[in-house]
Amino acid sequence: MNSEIYRETILEHYANPVNAGDIPDADATARDFNPSCGDVVEIQAKFSDGIVKDIKFRGEGCAISQSSVDILLGIVKNKTIAEVENFTTEDFLEILGIELSPLRLKCALLGLNTLKTAVHTYLTRV
């Protein structure tokens, strides 16, 4: 049943995201779209001593794309850059713990892909 993916945690993060917002002095910003549906996520991050000190997002889109990015940022905050780099799609999907069709997978991974771009942007600059 498709509606089973809308678990309480997903709906809660969608309705009341904890990591939404801006970081005015961010070290890296990345923005990505899902061209088929128009979902958008922008991630801003601040790094210090190789650690993700602060990370926030802004976005528009479905419950899966937006709650996924909110959950993701909660996981990577205060982690080392190396840990973020080693954090795989499989790791993330295991944490999300919901069955996703290939099309919905794109929604769930929009945030992770944007995060990887942000980290990459930061690393190529420093």
Contacting positions for another protein (CB under 8 A): 1-3, 5-6, 11, 36-40, 60-66, 104, 107
* Smaller CB separation from another protein, 26 or 63: 63
* Smaller CB separation from another protein, 44 or 65: 65
Torsions phi, psi of 123, nearest 5? -65, -35
Closest distance of CB 58 from another protein, Å: 12
44: enclosing H helix or E strand? strand 39-48
Q: What is the 8-class DSSP label of residue 17? A: -
* Smaller CB separation from another protein, 12 or 83: 12
31, 40 contact by CB (below 8 A): yes
